[in-house]
Amino acid sequence: MKYNRLVLPFLVSIPLLTPGIIKAQTQQDSTLQGATLQQCIDYALKNQPQVRQSLIDEEIGERDINSALSGWLPQITGTGSLNSNIKRQVMFFGGETVTVGSKYTSVLGAQANQQIVNAGLIQASKTAKWYRLQYKQNTENNRISAVVEVSKAFYDILTSQEQLKITDENISRLQKQLKDAYAQYEGGLVDKTDYKRAQISLSNSLADKKRITELLKYKYSYLKQLMGYPAEKDISLTFSNTNMESEASIDTTQQLNYQNRVEFRQVETQRRLQGINTSYNKLAYLPSLSANINYNWNYLNNNFSDLYNDHFPSSVAGLTLSIPIFQGTYRTQQIRKSQLQERRLDLDLLNTKNQIYSQYEAALATYKANLNDWRTAQQNVELSSEVYNTIKLQYNEGIKTYLELMTAETDLRTSQVTYLNALYSLLSSKLDLQQALGTITFQQ
């Protein structure tokens, strides 16, 4: 038994000790039970396919950058040839014909080239950091979208779950009212109209519960999709109405700063890259300069078996200068095209700034309107609850009719559902306002 107690924990701990892919797979396959909003967001930032793809794009971009910059390093190549001169060249010398060369030849060589001045490599060096920034900004944009989408889906599920609780409470009341109304009907105190109405209301509430329950299944599936969570795995959420209400507020006096928006910074990065491209087209008029050296082993013999018995080395070192003199109007057209693209990106910056401002104004207006709706709905819940409790007492004493009781109960349920919908709309509009302000934060 002692042996089993020692072995079992060791076997269980093996997946925890396995690095790399196995560890990541274990984390992804684990289920989330009683997950908070922050836990769902953290999971999405690690596992959402779109976020993971953008991280892979960063790695691919780094390989592209390193590949472009590798041109600055020496380029070394090796060559080899083996020839059989079937018909050797004949020359006339001293009044006689002389056969030139050997029957078999072979050359083994190595050559190294080093770029010294090259416009393309200069451009690659200048654009490297901006391309890295561009990939990181794309990842940041996907992460922000993940935070917003997961948060909205999380709040949507919580709203539906609270609606389900309200419906259950309503069903309990209606079941009791149906029982009381039927008992009064059996006692001859009222006609069958009251308990028939109670039965209709109860059926409608049961139908509402079925609808909400079925929609919850889809909403959980949608949240899993946004998180990159395995569809076949179970997930449960934990929440508090108090926390939801406390998270609904935001400082509406914050000033809009365009630099906080990753979309604006992305266009700025594109503009910088385009400016470097224009400079490259101008630099293309400059000459290119490279150094080279080679070393060859030459083998000559009329007998193939003796070909590699001896060799005759040769070596050359030098500089290669290439000066573009006339290329039609190709470079001129490329420069003008690049300058036009710069002007176009300037307009993109202006358009993006206008879009951000419009988005901010719409988000701010929507948030303020939803905040007012939420406060109004909060007051209506309190009022309708007081009205229902009063009419319920009066109905029990025979002062109010059952129809008035049902109307008060319907008003209470409607105000409760309206309050929850207003709270969800307020939380969603807060996220939209934070995104418009560029203040969405997340753990890297």
95 and 225 in a single domain? The answer is no
- pLDDT of res. 180: 79
In a domain, 13, yes or no: no
Q: Quick one: 371 and 428 in the same domain? A: yes
Same structural domain, 144 and 279: yes
Q: Does any domain span residue 5?
A: no
pLDDT at 344: 96
> Mean pLDDT of residues grouped by 10 in the chain (444 residues)?
37 38 44 87 94 95 94 94 88 79 91 91 92 95 95 93 91 86 74 81 92 94 95 86 76 93 96 93 85 94 88 92 84 91 95 96 96 94 93 85 86 92 94 94 57
Last residue of a domain, one of 322, 341, 373: 322
Q: In this structure, is residue 442 part of a structural domain?
A: no
Count CB-CB contacts under 10 A for residue 307: 18
Residues 150 and 110 occupy one common structural domain? no
Backbone phi, then psi, for 317, in 5-degree steps?
Answer: -130, 145
What is the structure's pLDDT at 81? 94
106 and 138 both lie in a single domain: no
CB 343 within 8 A of CB 274: no
Which of 152, 160, 157, 200 shows the shortest CA–CA distance to 178?
A: 200
User: Does 111 lie in the same domain as 123?
Assistant: no
The pLDDT value recorded for residue 92 is: 79
Q: Are 226 and 214 in a shared domain? A: yes
179 and 299 together in one domain: no
- Residue 388 shares a structural domain with residue 333: yes
Residue 220 maps to a domain: yes
Confidence at residue 286, expressed as pLDDT on a 0 to 100 scale: 83
4 domain-assigned = no
The token pair at 443 is 């753990």
Residue 300 lies in a domain: yes
Last residue of a domain, one of 278, 305, 322: 322
CA atoms within 13 A on the CB side of 31: 9
User: By C-alpha distance, which of 204, 65, 64, 62 is closest to 139?
Assistant: 62
On whether residue 16 sits in a domain, the answer given is: no
Beta-bridged to residue 294, according to DSSP, are 111, 316
Clarify whether residues 128 and 190 are in a common domain.
yes
- Residue 358 structural domain: 21-73+118-287+326-437
CATH of the domain at 124: 1.20.1600.10
Domain boundary among the residues 322, 338, 372 is at 322
- The answer on 251 and 188 residing in a single domain is yes
Domain-embedded: residue 200 = yes
What pLDDT score does 11 carry? 34
pLDDT at 352: 96
My answer on whether 189 and 279 are in the same domain is: yes
Domain count for the chain, please give it: 2
Structure tokens at 436: 């418009």
